[in-house]
Amino acid sequence: LDKLGIKPHFLNDLHVTDEATTEVVESVVCVERMSGKAGKLITAMAVRSDLGFVGENTSVDTMLVRGKRTTDIFL
């Protein structure tokens, strides 16, 4: 994030995640055409609106990861 000029922002000692940070995270975690966003790998619920995109996971689809483990995507 530093290399991209994105500065961290905190509110009451909690990290605020903005849209720019979310886009970087999505691009980093994206593997081939499977991303957490498109594949609904992880779903979450917002914690507080003043923290931006920060949330708590509500579910993780492990079947997507298990299916990809049998290919050469994960080494």
* Residue 12 and residue 23 in contact, taking contact as beta carbons nearer than 8 Å: no
pLDDT at position 63 is 74
pLDDT at position 64 is 62
pLDDT at position 75 is 43
Q: Please state, in angstroms and rounded to a whole number, the distance separating the CA atoms of residues 18 and 39.
A: 21
Domain coordinates of the chain in residue numbers? Answer: 9-69
Low-confidence ranges of the chain (pLDDT < 70): 29-39, 64-75
The residue assigned the tokens 């994030």 is: 1
pTM score, two decimals? 0.44
Other beta carbons less than 10 A from residue 73's beta carbon? 12
Phi, psi of 11 (to 5 degrees): -130, 115
Tell me the per-residue pLDDT of 22-33, one tens digit each, with 9 for 90 and over: 888 777 766 545
- One-letter amino acid at 49 equals S
Q: Please state, in angstroms and rounded to a whole number, the distance separating the CA atoms of residues 61 and 21.
A: 23
